[in-house]
Chain A
Amino acid sequence: MGHVPAMVDPVSDERLKLRCKRLDAALDELTRASRVAHLSKVPRVLDAARQVLGEPGGPLALRRRIVSLTEAGIFRGSDWDYPENLVPTLARQALTSRDPATVVIEVLSLLRLLSVVEDDYPGANVGVEQSREHLVRVLALNLSILYGIQGEAVREQGEKLAAVSRGSLQFILEQLGFDQVVDALIAEIWRILEQRPIQVAPVREMITQIARCLQDPEQDLGASGRGAERLVSSLYGPTRACGEDPGLATYAERLRAMDAVGLQGEVMGLARSMHDTGLVSPYHAVAISHLLESDDRAILLPDILGLSSTGRDCLLCYQSLVQTLIREAIYPDTCQSIYGLALLLERGILYQPPVAPGLWRQLKVRLAPQARERLRLTFGEALPPETHLVAGVLSVLGQPLGIGQGNNPTCQSARALSMWAYNDPDYLLQMVIWAARDDEIVMHFEGEGISSRGETELVRPLLGFDLDPVSLVVVPHLDRIYSQMMARCVGRAEDPHCWVNPEFHGWWTGRGFQINVDVATGKLANLEDFLRHFFASYHPYYNGVQPLIHPQPAGIAVTDSAARFIGWHAITILRVALDQHDDMRVYFYNPNNDGGQDWGDGTVVSTGGCGERYGESSLSFAEFASRLYIFHFDPLEPGEPEAVDGPMIDDCAARVRRTWAVDRLPAPLSEPSERSVG
């Protein structure tokens, strides 16, 4: 293995020996346990392993025993028993868990993969390359653990347990080499940026970590780290005049001293960097404020926003509004909204009559204490909450598909916000005003008003505040209304989404409704007919070559990378079109922060490279149909169900039956509800 532990002091060496003795005794007991009691012996081994991992040299000691541990069945009966199905993104949750056993089993699982990489250990059922890739991604996604910059998470977990995660990852990093990890991290960042999320805080954090490594003279990255510069500079020095990250005040001075040609160059540079990565540098906010005060603003504003002729035209028509928006909402702390503003102008939505006056109202609105408090808790007090909300509105209107639900089980509300921003922007502005100013939204369900202040048993507090300002203010209201609408459908014969979706999302939601799960039993029902209608309504070859007009809510049975059912999830179908290979694809919006997911059985959701626009996810039509369980359609435009090819339907149906519905064929299961994953 080639790893020589550094000189250890005798006391800690003694401690390590004592702990290793305990581990060996526990391991011996596990090895000897009969089938009856095997599982009951596992906790003792995990706890002994935890003690070893907490000591200097501990991860190495564990690495030396990992084959014995694996063969003694330490992973048996857990998800970790199938290393081929483990997902790198889930490691973080385990490594930061408060439950010591969860932390340890994740570390042991990583050490097992390390033994595959180093010794080609065959007992793990995964190949060397797959193992290396997994480890590298786990390290890349957990640099904050590696470098101990977690703060709150450590407080929650306890320093002793946090040290176990940190020490183990450091050991694995040393074994693999830092250069490999950096490349994976960069790839991960680009993959996320490709989806153009509104919330870029996690990406910023990762880039900041890379920046630190680049500056560390002890890290020799060698040939790796290509592309790192571009990411780091997009935040810390996008142009010549701020390339060495001189600080905002110095940059402002430099701008003041610049001649017209120099300024023009700066402005173009900032815009290029922004559109290249979707990230905005705080220097960009300084420059845009500078322009507002300069005489050349009419000429340079379109350039600093990087606008095409469409956006440029829009800006010219609404100069005073746009300048006021910039003045009120754009600061270094809210710089990311410059990108939202640029895209808002590009979308041309200001030409819709209610949008510009709606934005003027947004600029003047006074917030209710509840909204104020929520914004203050998340964004601090450096800027007024109104500023954050206007900035948030710019982002949402510019990037409707960049909205994410954060760590909240509120996929329906995030989906509704996104749909309105995309399709009905003035309605969205109205919602924001009601929530922010009045702290109440009233929607109608079958003729009856439903208030977001109404009683509901299903109130779920927001779990995380990792949301954009608009979601933060509006989602709690939407969630309460949605719960009440669902409650009014209890006892009806059909799935409640049949009625709730059109009333909640908007008139354009098809009143026709298809579901392939029997509500009472949870069993698969009506599958072939369901698929046939879906093809006929949505597939241009069977619906008379009609592109989808309005975005439509739909329900997905989400599966993991082993194609096992995880839960029901709300998405929006946006478009159906041919990709560059002439394959018919469904392009959709997934409120779940990261659309790129492996759903198993060969179905991998694509977020780029197959004709997606920023923020769209896509699958081939058949793959998409194989995970669909609810869709809406216009009953007056049913297409030609009888024209759909039989074999195609059979193929989709087979995919359904061997993936998420595998347990739904004979025996009844739980009642389906989109809420369960959200």
Chain B
Amino acid sequence: MSNSKQAINPEKGYVALLGWSLNAVEAADTFDRRYVVVAPEWAEDYCKEHDIPYVAWNFERLNDRSMEIAETLKDMGVDVSIPLFEETVEWAGAINSVLMDKPRLFGQAMLLRDKALMKRRAQLGGIRVGIFEEAHDRDDVIRFLKRVNQTLLKLEGDPDDPIHLKAFDKAGCLGHRVIRTPDEVDTIPDEEFPVLMESHLDGWEFAVEAWIHNGKIAFLNISEYVTLGYSVFVPATPDLEKYREQIREQIELLIKTFDIEFGFVHPEYFVTSDGTMYFGEVAYRPPGFKVFELLERSYGFNAYQGLILAFDPKTTDEEIKAFFPKEVVDAKNYAGCFGVYPRRRVVSRLEIPTETEDHSYFESHELTPPLEETVTKRTAFGTHWGLVYFQGDDAYTMRDLLKQQEELDFYV
């Protein structure tokens, strides 16, 4: 174990990480930029114990005191702040608008934080999106469900196409529900409103991670979902990679539409059978499903350090060029992960299935023993209990293997 920090390059920027992520901290700690962690008080003990530069801050809603943290970081000489979680995106916008004296960064962040606003802006920019609307109560949902299906020329009695409900400002699958019939509308609790409603797109959903420097794409990864909410791997299969050029054009359009100069975007798209791309949503922070960790396993570069490079205003083009590998061809192998949900109602212990353990692609897992025996019934998509990592040479074996995990019990 190395205890010494990497030598700091004084020519380079000083970055603030907003939110606590151990992997991000470790990346920063072993990189050549000065850094500081801005996180809630519960992180303080760990930071002190491990000699990690730290400023305490509770990321609740933006309020009158928001300027305080921006001023603090400015006084410290910080050049830029980097959001690590959805909840810190607007804070990064607000802070960076002060640090860099660019007020529009705050407006941009608000746009990237609200799914309804985001879709409108995308539509204005000429990006293709599905039908969407905001709902304030259950009646709105029923109306939307009916209208979407009328648009699809369904007859009375035909099975309806589902619609999707998402919270405005939550990451990924949190609060994501699928509604198929008006009956199901009653299951939505009051506190989930207002929500964004979207028509269902019968396409292939995938995600993109793009690092942006000086308004240009520095590295573009396509993440292939095997089953949404369960599993993802990188790089994608050749079947999906064949759309790379089209996808690159879409990302360039996104960068232009949202006026993004630097940093990192994580959008989701659908591609339909005729090759049309539909924009789903975009986040201005690392993906929740650990794609950064997968990229390191596959390509060998540290995606968090890439994030620091992409945000630091003092990064040069040469640095960017030297840091990022060439997409797909430089990948050593395929890396994927699977999110485990307990399949039984009552579980007593963690036991990795023999099928999984015996497969040469299996690498490791982050599952912990169950704390309670009764498994809470899943509403919406919920959160998985931990990830299982795989690595191997063949994309299709990876895809099938990840699919296969859905049929196995990790908690018995």
User: Are A22 and B364 touching (Cβ within 8 A)?
Assistant: yes
Interface residues of B in 352-379 (CB under 8 A from A): 352, 357-358, 360, 362-366, 369
List of A residues within 8 angstroms of B23 by Cβ: 37, 40
A212 is an interface residue with CB less than 8 A from chain B: no
Interface with B: A156-164, A189-197, A296-304, which one? Answer: A156-164
A100 is an interface residue with CB less than 8 A from chain B: yes
Interface centre among B1, B358, B362 (most CB of A within 10 A): B1
List of B residues within 8 angstroms of A98 by Cβ: 348-349, 369
- Size of the A side of the interface (Cβ < 8 Å), in residues, is 32
Contact indicator per residue, chain B 1-30, by CB within 8 Å of chain A (1) or not (0): 111010000000000000000110110011
B65 is an interface residue with CB less than 8 A from chain A: no
User: Are B351 and A34 touching (Cβ within 8 A)?
Assistant: no
A144 is an interface residue with CB less than 8 A from chain B: no
Among A22, A40, A73, A99, point to the contact of B1 (Cβ < 8 A): A73
User: Are A156 and B348 touching (Cβ within 8 A)?
Assistant: yes
User: Are B358 and A15 touching (Cβ within 8 A)?
Assistant: yes
Minimum C-beta distance from A99 to chain B (A) = 5
Bound together, the chains give a CA A46 to CA B98 distance in angstroms of: 46
B253 is an interface residue with CB less than 8 A from chain A: no
- With known contacts A98-B348, A158-B349, A35–B369 Cβ distance under 8 A: no
List of A residues within 8 angstroms of B360 by Cβ: 18
Bound together, the chains give a CA A43 to CA B358 distance in angstroms of: 19
A113 is an interface residue with CB less than 8 A from chain B: no
Can you name the residue of chain A whose Cβ is closest to the Cβ of B37?
Answer: A36
List of A residues within 8 angstroms of B242 by Cβ: none
User: Are A44 and B1 touching (Cβ within 8 A)?
Assistant: no
User: Are A34 and B365 touching (Cβ within 8 A)?
Assistant: no
Interface centre among B3, B23, B25, B350 (most CB of A within 10 A): B350
Bound together, the chains give a CA A40 to CA B50 distance in angstroms of: 13
- With known contacts A35-B51, A36-B22, A51–B1 Cβ distance under 8 A: no
User: Are B22 and A37 touching (Cβ within 8 A)?
Assistant: yes
List of A residues within 8 angstroms of B369 by Cβ: 98-101
- With known contacts A22-B363, A156-B348, A51–B2 Cβ distance under 8 A: no
B408 is an interface residue with CB less than 8 A from chain A: no
User: Are A34 and B364 touching (Cβ within 8 A)?
Assistant: no
Can you name the residue of chain B whose Cβ is closest to the Cβ of A45?
Answer: B364
A64 is an interface residue with CB less than 8 A from chain B: no
Among A22, A30, A35, A157, point to the contact of B3 (Cβ < 8 A): A35
Can you name the residue of chain B whose Cβ is closest to the Cβ of A44?
Answer: B364
User: Are A26 and B22 touching (Cβ within 8 A)?
Assistant: no
List of B residues within 8 angstroms of A30 by Cβ: 1
A347 is an interface residue with CB less than 8 A from chain B: no
List of A residues within 8 angstroms of B352 by Cβ: 47, 51
List of B residues within 8 angstroms of A26 by Cβ: 364
User: Are B1 and A35 touching (Cβ within 8 A)?
Assistant: yes
Bound together, the chains give a CA A239 to CA B368 distance in angstroms of: 55
Can you name the residue of chain B whose Cβ is closest to the Cβ of A51?
Answer: B357
Minimum C-beta distance from B272 to chain A (A) = 40
User: Are A37 and B349 touching (Cβ within 8 A)?
Assistant: no
A72 is an interface residue with CB less than 8 A from chain B: yes
Bound together, the chains give a CA A37 to CA B350 distance in angstroms of: 24
Can you name the residue of chain B whose Cβ is closest to the Cβ of A54?
Answer: B357
List of A residues within 8 angstroms of B142 by Cβ: none
- With known contacts A98-B349, A158-B349, A158-B412, A34–B366 Cβ distance under 8 A: no
A48 is an interface residue with CB less than 8 A from chain B: yes
List of B residues within 8 angstroms of A34 by Cβ: 1-3, 5, 26, 29-30
B52 is an interface residue with CB less than 8 A from chain A: yes
Can you name the residue of chain A whose Cβ is closest to the Cβ of B358?
Answer: A15
Can you name the residue of chain A whose Cβ is closest to the Cβ of B29?
Answer: A36
Bound together, the chains give a CA A33 to CA B30 distance in angstroms of: 10
List of A residues within 8 angstroms of B363 by Cβ: 22, 25
Among B22, B350, B362, point to the contact of A40 (Cβ < 8 A): B22
Contact indicator per residue, chain B 330-359, by CB within 8 Å of chain A (1) or not (0): 000000000000000000111110000110
A361 is an interface residue with CB less than 8 A from chain B: no
List of B residues within 8 angstroms of A19 by Cβ: 357
Contact indicator per residue, chain A 379-395, by CB within 8 Å of chain B (1) or not (0): 00000000000000000
User: Are B366 and A43 touching (Cβ within 8 A)?
Assistant: yes
Bound together, the chains give a CA A25 to CA B333 distance in angstroms of: 16
Bound together, the chains give a CA A26 to CA B348 distance in angstroms of: 27
User: Are A47 and B52 touching (Cβ within 8 A)?
Assistant: no
Contact indicator per residue, chain A 262-296, by CB within 8 Å of chain B (1) or not (0): 00000000000000000000000000000000000
List of A residues within 8 angstroms of B52 by Cβ: 36
Can you name the residue of chain B whose Cβ is closest to the Cβ of A157?
Answer: B349
List of B residues within 8 angstroms of A36 by Cβ: 22, 25-26, 29, 50, 52
A550 is an interface residue with CB less than 8 A from chain B: no
User: Are A48 and B364 touching (Cβ within 8 A)?
Assistant: yes
A38 is an interface residue with CB less than 8 A from chain B: yes
Contact indicator per residue, chain A 23-60, by CB within 8 Å of chain B (1) or not (0): 00110001111111110100110011001000000000
Bound together, the chains give a CA A412 to CA B3 distance in angstroms of: 49
Can you name the residue of chain A whose Cβ is closest to the Cβ of B354?
Answer: A160
Can you name the residue of chain A whose Cβ is closest to the Cβ of B26?
Answer: A37
Can you name the residue of chain A whose Cβ is closest to the Cβ of B3?
Answer: A35
User: Are A38 and B1 touching (Cβ within 8 A)?
Assistant: yes
Interface residues of B in 30-73 (CB under 8 A from A): 30, 50-52
User: Are B350 and A100 touching (Cβ within 8 A)?
Assistant: yes
Can you name the residue of chain B whose Cβ is closest to the Cβ of A30?
Answer: B1
User: Are B351 and A160 touching (Cβ within 8 A)?
Assistant: yes
Minimum C-beta distance from B283 to chain A (A) = 24
Can you name the residue of chain A whose Cβ is closest to the Cβ of B369?
Answer: A99
Bound together, the chains give a CA A44 to CA B52 distance in angstroms of: 23
Bound together, the chains give a CA A34 to CA B363 distance in angstroms of: 21
List of A residues within 8 angstroms of B30 by Cβ: 34
User: Are B366 and A32 touching (Cβ within 8 A)?
Assistant: no
Bound together, the chains give a CA A48 to CA B363 distance in angstroms of: 9
Bound together, the chains give a CA A307 to CA B81 distance in angstroms of: 86
Interface residues of A in 124-166 (CB under 8 A from B): 156-158, 160-161
List of B residues within 8 angstroms of A18 by Cβ: 358, 360
Bound together, the chains give a CA A22 to CA B360 distance in angstroms of: 9
Minimum C-beta distance from B337 to chain A (A) = 13
List of A residues within 8 angstroms of B362 by Cβ: 22
List of A residues within 8 angstroms of B29 by Cβ: 34, 36
List of B residues within 8 angstroms of A33 by Cβ: 1, 26
Interface centre among A36, A73, A161 (most CB of B within 10 A): A36
Bound together, the chains give a CA A99 to CA B350 distance in angstroms of: 8
Bound together, the chains give a CA A200 to CA B358 distance in angstroms of: 44
Minimum C-beta distance from B368 to chain A (A) = 8
List of A residues within 8 angstroms of B22 by Cβ: 36-37, 40
List of A residues within 8 angstroms of B2 by Cβ: 32, 34-35
Minimum C-beta distance from A73 to chain B (A) = 6
Can you name the residue of chain A whose Cβ is closest to the Cβ of B23?
Answer: A37
List of B residues within 8 angstroms of A31 by Cβ: 1
Minimum C-beta distance from A164 to chain B (A) = 12
Minimum C-beta distance from B223 to chain A (A) = 22
List of A residues within 8 angstroms of B25 by Cβ: 36-37
Bound together, the chains give a CA A313 to CA B213 distance in angstroms of: 101
List of B residues within 8 angstroms of A73 by Cβ: 1
User: Are A72 and B351 touching (Cβ within 8 A)?
Assistant: no
Contact indicator per residue, chain A 90-121, by CB within 8 Å of chain B (1) or not (0): 00000000111100000000000000000000
Bound together, the chains give a CA A99 to CA B351 distance in angstroms of: 10
Contact indicator per residue, chain A 309-352, by CB within 8 Å of chain B (1) or not (0): 00000000000000000000000000000000000000000000
List of A residues within 8 angstroms of B50 by Cβ: 35-36
Contact indicator per residue, chain B 110-123, by CB within 8 Å of chain A (1) or not (0): 00000000000000
Chain B residues packing against A (C-beta within 8 Å): 1-3, 5, 22-23, 25-26, 29-30, 50-52, 348-352, 357-358, 360, 362-366, 369, 412
Counting from the closest, the 3 A-B pairs by CB-CB distance are A37-B26, A44-B364, A98-B349
Known: A35-B2, A43-B366. 10 other contacts (CB 8 A): A31-B1, A32-B1, A33-B26, A34-B5, A34-B29, A36-B50, A36-B52, A44-B364, A158-B351, A158-B412
A-B residue pairs in contact (CB < 8 Å), sample of 8: A18-B360, A33-B26, A35-B50, A36-B22, A36-B25, A36-B29, A37-B23, A101-B369
